[in-house]
Structure 1
Amino acid sequence: MSHIKASTALAAIARQNTRSFIHGNFGAKSTVSHHGFTNRTASSKIHAALEALRHNYSTFNSFAHTGYRSGNVAIDASTQVRSTGEYNSRILALKREGDLIGVEREFNRMKSEGVALTTYTYNLVLDAHASLRSVGHKSFRLLEVYTEMLNMGIVPDNFTYMVTVRGLSKRDVEVNFLLETLENLPWKTSKFDDEFYKRLESLRSEGNLDHAMSIFESTRIRNNVHYDLETCNSLLHALAVNGRTVEALVVFQYIEAQQMQPSASTYASLIQAYGMIGDTGSASDCLREYETIVQRLPQHDPNFLYCALIAAYVKNGEISEAIDVIEKRMPENNVASNVTNYYHLIKELCKKGYYDVAHEWYGKMSMEECLPLPNRAIHETLLFHYSLADKYKEATEVYEKMVKADIIPRYNELAAYIYASIENDPDRVCDLIDRAIKDNMVPDIPLIEHVVSGLIDSGRNVAALKIFDNMIQLVLCRGLGYTLSKLNLIADSLLNDSRITLEDALALMIIYANTSTNTSYNTANSSMHHARRNFRFSHAMNNALLDKYIYTKDQYGPPPLSKREYGLLFKAAIGQTHDEHTPTTAETFTKRIFSILEDSKLHNALPTRKLSDKIHQHLLQTCGPEVAQNWAALTSTDSIRWPTAEEIRESDKLYHLCCQTTTVDSALVVKKVRDMIAGSVYPTPEVMGHAIRNVGKAKNIERSKELFDIALEVANVWNNSLKNHAIYLARNNMVISYATVGNIEEALSLYYQVLENGQALDSNAYASLLLAESDKVFDEADIAINMYKEAKQFNVKLNLYFYNVLISKVGKARKSDYVWEIYKDMKSNGIQPNAITYGALITACIRVRSEEHAVQLFKEMETSPNVQARIGPYNSMIQFYTWDLQDRSKALYYFDQLKARGMRPTEHTWKLLIDAYAAIEPYDMQSAMTLFDQMRKEEVYPAPTHFASLIYAYGMKQNNIESAIDTFESIFTEHKLRPDESAYQALFESLIEHQRLGQAEDYRRRMLEDDKVHTTPYIENLFIRGYGDVGHWEKAEAIFLAMKDTDHKEKGTVLREPSTYEVMVKAYVKNGKVREAKRVAELLERKEFPTTVKESVANLLC
């Protein structure tokens, strides 16, 4: 390419730099060309990644290939090759079949079964990801697999580098295209849906090209690495698309240095690269160079190179030059122009805003016989850009021609036109949405949001509701749970719109009612089922509906509504009483519900029996028996039936169906119940409660809730006293179901209903509620004690399960007096402790350092003939003497007792033994190290947590920080494990203790870069304390502010523990920032944290 070198100073300068770069002398000094373009070195980020990569390669090259282990599992050498070979053959076959999921499945199975992974294995998987993944598919694991390969210490070969660089480059081009497309879709903005923004951010953060270039830079000078032309072209194309021309020239120089013949794709990318920086002269020269050698190249379509030059000219405002490419240059070189050339011309003209020129060429193509007719792509690009440029007349002209030619536009192009129609021709929007659905498209939520809002703005309420209803039916039929949940938010906003009438609001509510009761739709996937369950009236919707009802009644009198519509008003009135922010008072509810009843009577629209009974029960709970009796007298009569002999027999059969909690067939239980009811044979309340509880314990909460609803309905069949008992049993057992799956809000709601009715839960329900509370609150001991007192007050018969949970909760809070009181009460009630009870009691003693009581209880447990030994209490005693009392001999005594009982030590047991030798004076590191071999003999493989014990012992106990660091590094370099949070925490604590905060920061950055390891509140607390100790309170504050409160549910955030507030206050106080310390203390005071923590912080400020 001699005349390219001579014709442009930019190319000459860049080539000189690239030569230096290839020989390792590419300096940081910039050289500016006459075009004003700066030829810079690769970014510092790439250089940093490059250095890290080089370090890794030197490390990986030192690994022995013969001793590779997957995870912690040793591989038998005699079977390694055969097993690996079999798996590799399977993966290869699946790759050839195009089954990427199957490749991943076999790859994961290899790892889980401990089969040795080789370079060839990873090459197969990498190649499968690079070649089989569908364009546009969100999952892109190529880089993840490559990084895993490096972390596993498996040395890449030439093919590894080529397939990874090629795959990353292609993905980057794909991401670039997606971003260019998505960033130009104005209807994607939504106040309800942030997934669009998250996707954009995710795409922007992938950094595929940086990784590809880093790998290429670090390996291209190796003698054993040679990149083929296809890989170089892929990388060159990605660099060109991103306008990274200097680096593109580096790749081109490599092609020349390797004496490879550039292909047509090579020249096309160079043309694009120059066009991106405004150097159309060099772009033209590249094409001229191509034209001189085109005869020597393999057969190809030359049009795409001319398209690249056309795009370069238009991008830089040189329109006549772009047209000359088609009209002069192509004929001069015997290249026939086709529709593709005109498409690229029109597309680039539209992108740069030259709409008149684009439309002129569109007209010429439609009219002049010598030109090709516009194809689908030209119609779509014009429709899209005209719609977004507020050229609605032109967009409509194009759309009508597409309809006439039976051309179905793609979704984004049609959506852009729909979006433009909202303002320009709203009457057309419904037909366009229908057309989209007919053409098998699903309009996205933000578009529907804009459409509905726009139609309401123009007074087309009926049309807006029609579109909303059609969308719901569409997503129900297709099982699109996520879309349904987002429609819920739009409906909430819609109903609260003052321009929506009562008639409109009720129509919307009926849509809701149909959605929640119709079971014929696709609910096979869990997201759809969850969305269906949550597609219900919100408090705001209830308020809005009743406000519209009151307004309409005041203006026009009681509205003539149907039974179903009045039913919706009744339900909304009940819903208002459950509003957690502004619940309706009992007096207001009574007045409103009877007013609606009076209006419904005028129009012969009394509530159904089921709804009437529900209102009766609600009135009984909130307004008292007198009001409830008044309602009953006006609406219905009570039944006086008791269960028949047949019902008791059938209920006994139902009981046996659900007597096994873990194996209960939930669907069969529900079917049995429904079959009984269909034959007017009703299950007894006790058996219904049993079914609700056991189906819930089997984690099938939807079926459990279904049974709960049936139980409430069936309760109306019985005599009043039995009816009340049936409702109690249903609620009590549904509390257990909700608590089992962690749905504490629903569990507490039913719990309060039971209390409001003057009743209490049974022992199992209280215990289940306490267990579910543990993940939600910090003062669980106080809650446990209050529930215990409540249960005693109601004379609830407490069982062993409840006592075990209670002792555990109270013991954790170091309330030893309460523990002994509870234990004494338990024994006085004739309930004998089991191993779990003793474990909880011993733990409670250990927490208050009561050695005498702990030993006494342990001996009592060992001598009790009815208690089966468990390892937990033994570990607790070993931990007590290791961590708290620092008595190695006694710790080893309990280990010997454990072995004598024939129990197998757990991973935690071994960790405690390592602590006993390494962290208790006199330190015995030789014995500590011997434990690792002993573990392996007993088939317990060392994990990072065991090395964390050594790190802590060296750094915090033995004052040997260098050994602590060496031990941490050895986790990966020698033992091929990934350091986990415990290892990092031990290292951070040691480094901070030894005033090596800067080094701790370096390791923290390393930890945060590892997507498999996540920081914890305790690690963050260490840095807050460390920064506070050395006067860097601003850095401590930054960490504290980056953490979130405990009610924050965003994935990936670090939550503040109570101790976080305390350590932050200490850091402020130590640095004289009392005002800031008080602000944090005020935050703490508003939290539901233990009183002891709040008092401790308050004392710091005294």
Structure 2
Amino acid sequence: MLPKVANQLFHHTSRAVVSIQNQTGHTLRNVLQLQSSGPSTAVTGWGSSVSGGSSHSGPGPSKFHTSSRLHTTPTGSPLSATQVRERVEKLSAFRAPSQHRSQNLIGDASSDASQLVRSGFGTYATLISTLTDRDFENHEAVRRAEARLKRRRRAALNESAEEEEQRIASLRGDSHFASAFALFQTAAINPNSKFPLHIYNKLLRSCVIHSNADAALTVYAHLEKRSDIVPDAQIFISLIATFASSKDARGAESMFGKFKEASRLDSIEWSFDALRSDASAHVPLYSQRASQTAVWNEMLAAYFRCEQPSDALGLLEQMMDTPSGDVLKATDVPPPSSSTFSRAITGFCQLGDVPTALSWFERMVQQQDPASADPFEPVHVPRRPDQGAWTVMLDALADEGMVAELNRLFVRWLQVAPEDGIAVLSDHRDSVLAANLRFMDNRVDLGQAKALELLDFLSEYVLPWDTDNVHFTFQRETSRALCERLVMQYWKRQSPGHALDLAERIASRQLQVLHQGQAQETFDSSKTQWRIEGTRRFVVDLVTNMLKSTTSISLTHLLRLSAMLSDVGALHSATFSEACLNAYALQRNSPTLALSAREWEALLEVILAGDVDSAASLNTLVDDLLQHSVDITQFSEHAKGQLVRGLSSSDLNSVRLLAQLGEPFTSRLAELEQVQQSPALTSANSFETPSSWDETPATPVSSVNPYSSARIDSAHSHLVGEFFPGGNRSAVLTAYRRFQDGSENGIYPRPIVIARLISALGRLGETEKIRELYNTTQSVLGSLENPKQWQTSGWFLVEDHMIIGLAHAGDVEAAHVHRQRVIQQGGVPSADAYGALILNVKDTTDDTSNAMALYQESQAYGVVPNIFLYNTVISKLAKARKADFALHLFQDMKARNVQPTSVTYGAVIAACCRVGDAASAELLFQEMTSQPTFKPRVPPYNTMMQLYTHTKPDRERVLHYYTALREANVQPTAHTYKLLIDAYGCIEPIDIPAMEKTFLELVADRNVSVQGTHWAALINAWGCVQKDLDQVLAVFDSIATHSTTNPRGAPMPDAVVYEALINSLVTLRRMDLAPTYLERLQASGVHMTAYIANLLIKGYASAGEIERSREIFESLQDPQEGVAAPHNHAPHQNKPHPTSPVPANAPVFREPSTWEAMVRAELGNGERDRAVALLQRLQARMFPPAVYQRISGIMLDESVSPWASTDAAAPPSPSLS
């Protein structure tokens, strides 16, 4: 008997171990490797000494071992019982719940049965628990998959049904319960086997799932024999449910009788699964009443499942007639609860008797008392249904196609749901939508009026329109598909206006929910992206279906679709663009062509997005804009930018038309052309090096003085190196003095300490100390001759830090000398060295190209970028509006597992903002703030505010980010206040009181000083927006005597204020006042900038005084070739005034924009020859190609371009080589 038991135990336990191993993967196989031992006198498997058979008797070891991939030949001693238990428990802990694993794995059965016996029943309890949990998880996965499949079929989404069905079949094919029950049976043979109560419950739970009444009786019989444990209510609930699932009413009644008997004998524990996580479970009276109610409810449901509704109603009558109150005796009949009535309604629906269920349900809906939050609270008088009852009833009506009753109940639910505290979920709305749409598809005789009435009902009542509720978003394919079908019903029923109205409302609500979810941090970046993609898919699919279903669509309707595509960031397909252009061609000659500004913008979007030649279509569009006197200034900033970009990149006629558009288009051309152009990268080897540095050692070996008697001392290295890391100025200078003291005695620190000191001194700007340190270091390197590689590595280390130190000190040319030396000697500068070089590329005419040349060189030499290098190059790209490359590097750094910092996020957000990519900027901002290491800094907040102030004006979003800034306890800067003033003073609707209030808040803020940018913002609002010259002059005149103006500080008004004032005079065509204020500028000691000169050139030219424009232009000077013009950049964006202001009589140097302003002035006055002469002078200045192309592009018009003509009398063209 004993060998047989042992073999059964061994066989089934091996199966159990294999089953669990299959769920947890190969790694966990190594956790539980129950190796067989050598000969043992304990109970073993086939061929053991106990069985008495030969070594080949029985099925043989091949049954368990030959196919095992984990088979090993054991050599050690048997595992102890404790070790076996530990490994099983580890395996159970590692098992990933709700993760389906294939059964096509052959497990390791090389376990010694004796070890399993000795391990005790705790091991089997763990195995059974794990297997039954997995069985339940599979059951739940099947239930969810079937519900999902049902929802998809209701929505007529059948394309992935086969895949879902295969998944369900695979889950059902798992045999976890069979293994668990076999283990239980084998262990139960032992009369001393004792399992905890939860093991019986888990086994019976699986019996319900598999409708296995025989197994349930076996488990209960084993429990019943135990005198040391009593069943709980869940045991009887599972027993009743098991027989009910087999439609065995007598068996269920028998189990119900056993429950009553156990209650009478007080041999029951009052708890069950649904109660265990409830705090009320710890209150004995409540748990007893709830447990009794749950068992009676299960018997009620069992009668319905066994198709005996009369017995179910008889049981319900007993519960309703019971005299028991809130306190029950163990033998009392419990009163019904809300869950009792829900089970009754569910039972009628399962029987297919939906009318009876509806009758019961409607009587409950008419009750005055709201649904109870506690499903087991006794209610002698029915209350309104709970959420479970609503769900069952609506689903049943939807499946039966009873749409009139369904719609009536749904409206009633919307009315009572807030009072009852019940949420109407997306699934409920999907169910109602699907049933109504199916009804409309099947009722071909449905009249137009009735159909539209039904569609209006669905639109207004079933679709959610509030944005506080973040449910019903389009990451759910079912909801999206149903909304598409709803819109198409309007469309197919010849009501396109209603269709488009609804589509626009739906798309707008989806976008608003996205903003709301981001603001409340309900969605993370990935969830937001799914919802954005779902919304795009909704609009794109609608457009596709509408084009397929209709041969001709009006231009107005097409443009509304185009606007929707743009709103959600979707591309225009070639088919759609062609349809729009065809409709436009048919209607443009019609006298009824009256489009809104929004529709003109949509038409522009279509033209520029098309694959066909957009130049001709764009010319036609501009002709129509002029012919119909369209106020182009009402276009959005995005549309203005698109128009100018399109014209400047298309044919000659488009460029000629640009001149007719006036402001703001002509002044925006230069900026937008600069964005379009990609300047050629400058070679990193093109940097010039000063001759003064050619005397320093050039090689790591030959230039080192070998005579040196320098001694490197470890203690001295520690003393000098105390400043690192993070030492302040005092600590660094102290380290330098210590270095000097040691060098006088021939004692030096290690090269790494010297190198760090060089770069630290560079950050302090101590160039002379760097040179002294570098020259002295050669003696140190000479002392490292043995071994030679120490000298070489030390030389490269010092050279690398010389690059870093000199770059930070501002001597970039000298830094490049050391960069070239490192490369010439076969080395590569570090990522920090390249980062320092890139960071300090400035004051050139092409900073970005030079910076990118360095970055590309670093990558060509295989330098692995660190966070500093990434941050510097991304920042340079952001300033140059090269967002695509910046985002590419941002993704690259994350792929390399380099963690972005707030600086990184700030730079890449700025790059997106500079090109108007608001969606990417929003997502990146949210991603940044969700990082666990995020430390709020003001630049990203200011950047987002600036995006919605100047690039995509939206005051609500400006204030959103300002509020976020304050909530993050970040101190606003001067630039923050400047943006707020612009937001109130320049974005419609203008709010002058709020603008003035913001200025007063700035004045009151002791942490921020009032700067010229703030006064300039006020002047701009009054002058360029409000067109109020008196107020402009009043503000300007008040600055000098304002309480915030320091009479001993820098002159105020400063150049920025004068620039705003002159701009207002130009806008208001009051150039007669300009000389007066120019005199005041000179008298106040303020240095004029090229930007003020640009405005004067423009203003005088517009007033017909071209000679004055020329005088101003010629009074300016040119900077050194290749060097950016100095003294023109006043302290914008919170940059402090320089400590030594520029003298008022210092030269004013021309900017590229100055040349452009003068070329435009000459062309505007018909002076083509003079414009050509200016271009020749410009080309001689050796500006970057992009700058010259941008300015010379103004001339690319047949009517003004002398070199475009073939006339022999035309003047010669300037050389373009």
> Is the structural similarity TM-score above 0.5?
no
TM-score, structure 2 as length reference:
0.37
TM-score, structure 1 as length reference:
0.41
